[in-house]
Structures are given as C-alpha cells and as structure tokens.
C-alpha cells in the first residue's frame, strides 16, 4: 500500500469538520499570475449566480506556500458562506477585516494543533 501524508488533505479535513456545509472548488492553474495578469498567487471567485466559489492557486508556488494560500482563500469563503459577508461587493480592505483575520488564525490553529496526530496515524 502506498500512503501519502498530505498536509492539504489534513487542512481540508480540519475545515470539513468545523464547517461541514462549506462548498467551494479548489483548482491549481499552472500559470495563474501570467494568465490573469495578476500580482497575486491566489484568488477566490464568487459567481454572481450563487454557485460554489472557485479558489485558484498559482501552480508555480511552493507546496508549503499553497497551504497558506488555500487557508487564506478558504477563510474568505467562510466569511462569505458562514458569516454572510457579501464578498462580491466589498473592498479589498473590507474583505480582510478583523473577522477574516480571526477565521484565518483559527484555521491555522486548528491545522497546527492536530497535524501531529494526523501524521502519527500513518505509523500506527
Ligand atoms: Zn484575501
């Protein structure tokens, strides 16, 4: 049997446990910055029709950075879906409010406080 200790899987499992109804699609674009003429390495699109948000991560970023980017973007999805912040109409500053920062920090804490148990489970 081949096993993979995958930090992204662990992060998503943490999020699913805390927010079982959260919905979004995460995709990697091999050249997101270039394709979108963007200085950012990640983005979340909230479609006008209310369908699930799409998180895009630039595929050129290191694996460890993508983990942080996914957490950042999912904190936006949490603010939008769970806390009813309309992120389609707010400014960049409003999108990164204290509420957003609290969610982002909580994701980090949830992830880091359970990661050792996740890794240990592969060796039992
Ligand atoms: Zn952001």
Q: How far is the CA of 113 from the centre of ligand 1 (A)?
A: 23
Determine the topology of domain 16-112 in CATH. Zincin-like (3.30.2010)
What's the pLDDT score for residue 67?
Answer: 94
Q: How far is the CA of 72 from the centre of ligand 1 (A)?
A: 6
**Residues 16-34 pLDDT 10s:** 999 999 999 999 999 899 9
What's the pLDDT score for residue 21?
Answer: 95
What b-and-e string marks burial along 38-65, b requiring 16 or more CB atoms within 10 Å of the CB? eeebbbbebeeeeeebbbbbbeebeeee
User: What residue segments make up the domains of the chain, in order of their start?
Assistant: 16-112
Q: Residues in the chain with pLDDT < 70?
A: none
Q: How far is the CA of 123 from the centre of ligand 1 (A)?
A: 36
What's the pLDDT score for residue 89?
Answer: 80
**Rounded to an integer, what distance in angstroms lies between the CA atom of residue 99 and that of residue 83?**
9
What's the pLDDT score for residue 87?
Answer: 80
Q: How far is the CA of 95 from the centre of ligand 1 (A)?
A: 7
Q: How far is the CA of 122 from the centre of ligand 1 (A)?
A: 33
What's the pLDDT score for residue 118?
Answer: 96
**Rounded to an integer, what distance in angstroms lies between the CA atom of residue 109 and that of residue 58?**
24
Instruction: Note whether 56 and 32 are within 8 A (CB).
Output: yes
Q: How far is the CA of 73 from the centre of ligand 1 (A)?
A: 6
Q: How far is the CA of 40 from the centre of ligand 1 (A)?
A: 9
pTM, two decimals, is 0.91
Q: Widest CA span of the chain, in angstroms?
A: 48
**Rounded to an integer, what distance in angstroms lies between the CA atom of residue 81 and that of residue 15?**
13
Q: How far is the CA of 76 from the centre of ligand 1 (A)?
A: 7
């Amino acid at each position: 049997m081949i096993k993979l200790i995958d930090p992204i899987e662990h992060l998503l499992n943490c999020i699913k446990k805390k927010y079982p109804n959260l919905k979004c699609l995460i995709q990697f674009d091999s050249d997101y910055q270039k394709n979108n003429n963007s200085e950012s390495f990640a983005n979340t699109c909230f479609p006008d029709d209310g369908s699930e948000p799409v998180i895009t991560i630039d595929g050129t970023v290191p694996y460890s950075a993508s983990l942080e980017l996914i957490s950042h973007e999912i904190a936006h999805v949490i603010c939008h879906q769970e806390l009813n912040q309309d992120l389609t109409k707010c400014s960049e500053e409003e999108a990164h409010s204290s509420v957003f920062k609290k969610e982002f920090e909580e994701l980090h804490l949830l992830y880091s406080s359970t990661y050792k148990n996740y890794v240990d489970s592969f060796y039992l």
